[in-house]
Structure 1
């Protein structure tokens, strides 16, 4: 079968025309014909063995891609998490992790949406326990997942959504998706902190979704720092680390404010929470997208051309999707 394959020691995956077709290993697994699969930071870091879920697990050639859209033998169109890599003509998936894709939702959109839903809804609803009427700050909101998070926070009833980002044009576009206030990252630290402090004073920030970590996370936490009096409780959820994998966090900082600091990712969810994502959250979001209530922007590429664009930076908060 045709597939996108990473070989041990490889620096980039290769398009292979005759990779062995996978075989289901149990009655709980099924073979599907893949039609579309998105390429995310997760896929790229797993491909090179840099993601925490693939450390020391790169001894054999592997098909890339953690999830995608495909057809069952009876023609049913489903979204699935792959037991084997999904950027290939065939893949093995678990029967218990299949979601029927609603009519009216194209393959590219359906393939692009789930990772962004997991990277926003799980943080909002599971890690932060967001409630209707709360104020949400999204740090690094101009990427694909950040744009989904803005829309989903509003859908869940956020009173106010504050967004940060580097790309001024993309940052402004978030206002049309539901953002209420924008804070450019490309300004001096003092101005950035003062702007966050002002917004926090006006409507105290309840939830922070952080896709950047690094210096901007330090600045945001510093802007919330108390002075010995009672402070508003803020739930800070780390989802990504595009601006760096480490920050400096002092004990004094933690003692000065009412802060809940947590992460949202593959290793932080329970089995029950994962089932909630599969059985409840994703079907709801698929239907919202099918009803044009979620704006999803994609760039598509055919499987045979994927090597040419593997390292391409997709701009304006779009998601790259491989059509198979």
Structure 2
């Protein structure tokens, strides 16, 4: 089969498409003939050399795919050969085939085409696990979503809105804020022109955000705590703005706040399976009903993975970028 590899660390030019051995399903795994794979920030972090695959994971990038099951390993009763599915991966998605634990595989939601389904697994699992399973977002709460027009952000806005909470977003242009507004965001903050701490307090009558979903990390840490309401929860899922920062613990304690740092990729397969079961129960019905829609900005051929990364790096996209195998 053909797959994309990183030949060293660096810019998009290190991506290379080459022939490699096709995977075989181990016990409890299925092999998927890939229709499309999602491009994610983690793939870029791996490319530049700061986010290696977890032990035992494929060196091939790609954390989510859609496609058809072509073979199953011992002990697998579902999905079955021929089923159209999408899957959450620890790696290996930028390829024509990938092996994945069966518990991380879900059926393509009714009404979603096979290629578009690749835009769902990673963002749905990330958002639902962090905002609802970990931070416990409740109806009526205000949720501040940094990067509200990206893949994670567009899913977060829709799910927060669908579950009766109030989505607030930051983004770097009016065009991106307009995308978030169309998806249900009620508070729109241009971080290049406005102070998000002041704006979120203004929008909440001085209270602040009950939950913050942050992809920036160190650069925003203290300001995020400033923006938290009493009993607020800050969930950090990315480090685009660095990994180390000072924090006023007295302020955090006075607010009875929580700072939670999580990753999804390196979790054990049984934890990922539990998350995917929750996604199937709580998110998939919203996709089927049309209340939540996968957001695909642009597709590239697998052979053009370097161009897809170059476009991703430009920051011009909203929603997801996908690689297709045909």
Aligned-partner Cα distance in 1 for 2:218–2:174: 20
CA distance 1:141–1:4, change in 2 (3 Å): same
Q: How high is the TM-score relative to the length of structure 2? A: 0.83
Aligned-partner Cα distance in 2 for 1:20–1:52: 21
Q: How high is the TM-score relative to the length of structure 1? A: 0.84
Q: Deviations over 1:140-172 (max 9, x none)?
A: 2122211111110011111x2222222222113
Q: Does 1:236 align with 2:225?
A: no
Distance apart, 1:10 and its partner CA: 7.0
Query: 2:199 is matched with which residue?
Result: 195
Farther-moved stretch of structure 1 (44-53 vs 244-253): 44-53
Q: What does residue range 16-55 of structure 1 map to in structure 2 within 5 Å?
A: 16=18, 18-24=19-25, 26-51=26-51, 53-54=53-54
Query: 2:319 is matched with which residue?
Result: 318
Is contact 1:29-1:95 (8 Å) kept? yes
Q: Does 1:261 align with 2:247?
A: no
CA distance 1:183–1:70, change in 2 (3 Å): same
Distance apart, 1:217 and its partner CA: 3.6
Query: 2:75 is matched with which residue?
Result: none
CA distance 1:10–1:262, change in 2 (3 Å): closer
Query: 1:72 is matched with which residue?
Result: 69
Aligned to 1:124, which of 113, 126, 131? 131
CA distance 1:9–1:316, change in 2 (3 Å): closer
* Structure possessing the higher radius of gyration over alpha carbons: 1
- Matched residue of 1:129: which SS? coil
Q: Does 1:14 align with 2:16?
A: yes
Unaligned stretches of 5+ residues in structure 1 = 225-230
CA distance 1:22–1:272, change in 2 (3 Å): closer
Count of matched residue pairs = 310
CA distance 1:136–1:8, change in 2 (3 Å): closer
Unaligned stretches of 5+ residues in structure 2 = 71-80
Q: Does 1:208 align with 2:212?
A: yes
Aligned-partner Cα distance in 2 for 1:34–1:283: 24
CA distance 1:62–1:194, change in 2 (3 Å): closer
Aligned to 2:170, which of 160, 164, 167? 164
Is contact 1:102-1:290 (8 Å) kept? yes
Query: 2:74 is matched with which residue?
Result: none
Aligned-partner Cα distance in 1 for 2:227–2:2: 51
Distance apart, 1:37 and its partner CA: 0.7
CA distance 1:205–1:38, change in 2 (3 Å): same
CA distance 1:183–1:69, change in 2 (3 Å): same
